[in-house]
Chain A
Amino acid sequence: MSLAEKILRLDRRVIFVIIFIVGVYFAINPIGFPVITQPWVNDFYSEIEALQPGDIVLVHWSVQATSAEQVAGAVPTMQHLYRQEGIKMIHFSLGIQVDLLDQLIDEGNPAAHGKTYGEDWIQLGYIAGGETACAAIGSDIKGNFQNDWYGTPLNNLKLWNEISGSMKDIKLIVSLSSFDPGSDAVRRQLQVPYETPMILVGGAGGLTANMQWYNTKQYLGMLLGMTDNSAYEILINMPGIAARSTDVLSMLYVVAIVFIVIGNMAYLMSPQRRLRLR
């Protein structure tokens, strides 16, 4: 068997081991490759920076443990929001894993930024129904919730009594979405009918699908995947998990490309290729 044929029949476990070694090595020893900030990341940053004291932000979560890494921008986004003086946040989730998003909210440490629960932010938690739930929230936020996620009657919370329940109160929708029903449902039911400005944190896989909505200004800014999150962490001067992980991502792409090149060289030199040409 020629070398080319041996390469073509390479056991996939060899590829698995190489991927593992490269991933672990660059996770432990990051080099700090440069990251390019995309325009939609700058726009995302600017939308949050433009918030004024008293502005109310509706934060939508469709996040689950499987794809939590895809929305690694959640924690820096929360920290960036907490840094905006006097803004109020109302969180709700279209996914049932509210414990996970509670952890992400806590990681941002609202108390350290002077944000008090009930006065500056509220956790409404999970609402069933996906797109229907979004429509219900759009028509009347207050009518759909009696208690917060922790069981406290919402009428006891100061922030809840300050809002009218109309989408006109909302200055910005921040959608953190890694599965359906997610940002598309929020965009269709809350952004389009009420023309509420909306920004998105999502996975890199959604880039091509979401670009069309960014170009039509339905999303005013986006953070999609680890690379965007990394650029954003640097923008807000809080380098975190995304900034540390981009070297791993870069090197894994490089390894995949190297394998593609080696595979093609072996294919071009292999007897089966020559037979096909004849």
Chain B
Amino acid sequence: MILTSVVAAIAICEYYLQLPAVLTTASFMNRTGVILAAFFIGFGLVNIVRSHTRAITTRRPKWIFSIWLLFVTAVTIITGILPPVTQHPYYQWIYNYLFSTLEPAVFSLIAFFIAAVAFRAFRVRTWESSIMMFFAVVMMLRNAPLGPALFPPVGILGDWVLNVPAMANNRAVSLAASLGIIALGVRTLLGLERGYLGVEE
């Protein structure tokens, strides 16, 4: 807890006090944070291997996928560290022809589901849902390149929605989140927030 308070105090001082000693210490701390983050990537890998090995040995539901996950992880790591590291043709093939194509393919399915959900969700059941549907259609038309070109008022109305109600809402959320973070930071600095140490209030 003391360590956290000292580190946090130095990080804050770096922003407000441009003293060489503070800047050097803060820079060292930031570099340490980067090294720790890199270490935790390896830690995450260990965690995944442990978790899925346990799933296989205890025959949890869908344990067969755990075998596949461990196999794919092993193949990717082995091909990734073959010299030249991360540039080996096998690794490049996995990345370019499996990963880079499968990942966006799965992601692009969202377009189909959004259209199907829009068909069922946007109904004029109540005044509130009618307003929501109206502005959803306006924003869809505004974001489609064709919309403002064919119906200029859609662009004007869409820009107003973006710059007034949506902006006000976003600023409110940003400010509230910032105040919350400051409050959490102050509580952590004062030792009142101990959840990160595993201490339950």
Contact = CB atoms under 8 A, between A and B. Distances in A.
B196 interface: no
A139 B23 contact: yes
Given A66-B104, A263-B122, A128 B41 contact: yes
B37 A225 contact: no
Given A139-B27, A143-B27, A259 B148 contact: no
Contacts of A209: 170
Interface in B25-67: 26-27, 30-31, 33-34, 36-38, 40-41
A98 B120 CA distance: 40
A260 B122 contact: yes
Nearest to B146: A250
A130 to B, nearest CB: 7
B80 to A, nearest CB: 10
A253 B95 contact: no
Given A136-B27, A136-B33, A212-B171, A252 B145 contact: no
Interface size class of B (residues with CB under 8 A): 35 or more
A143 B114 CA distance: 46
Interface stretch (A13-21, A48-56, A154-162): A13-21
Interface string A217-238: 0000000010100100000000
Interface string A47-78: 00000000000000000111111000000000
B118 A33 contact: no
A255 interface: yes
Contact of A256 (B106, B114, B171): B114
A259 B115 contact: yes
Contacts of B137: 257, 260
A227 B100 contact: no
Interface residues of A, number: 66
Tell me the interface secondary structure of chain A in the complex: helix
A129 B33 contact: yes
B107 interface: yes
A129 to B, nearest CB: 4
Interface of B: 11, 14-15, 23, 26-27, 30-31, 33-34, 36-38, 40-41, 85-87, 92, 95-96, 99-100, 103-104, 106-107, 111-112, 114-116, 118-120, 122-125, 133, 136-137, 140-141, 143-149, 155, 162-163, 166-167, 169-171, 174
Interface of A: 10, 12, 15-16, 19-20, 23, 33-36, 64-69, 96, 98-100, 103, 127-130, 132-133, 135-136, 139-140, 143-144, 150-151, 193, 204, 207-209, 211-212, 215, 225, 227, 230, 246-247, 249-257, 259-260, 262-264, 267-268, 276
24 contacts: A33-B145, A36-B145, A68-B100, A96-B41, A99-B92, A129-B33, A129-B34, A133-B30, A133-B37, A135-B30, A136-B34, A139-B14, A208-B167, A211-B166, A212-B171, A249-B144, A250-B145, A252-B115, A253-B141, A254-B146, A257-B137, A259-B115, A264-B123, A264-B124
Given A19-B115, A99-B95, 6 more contacts: A103-B96, A135-B11, A143-B27, A144-B31, A208-B166, A211-B167
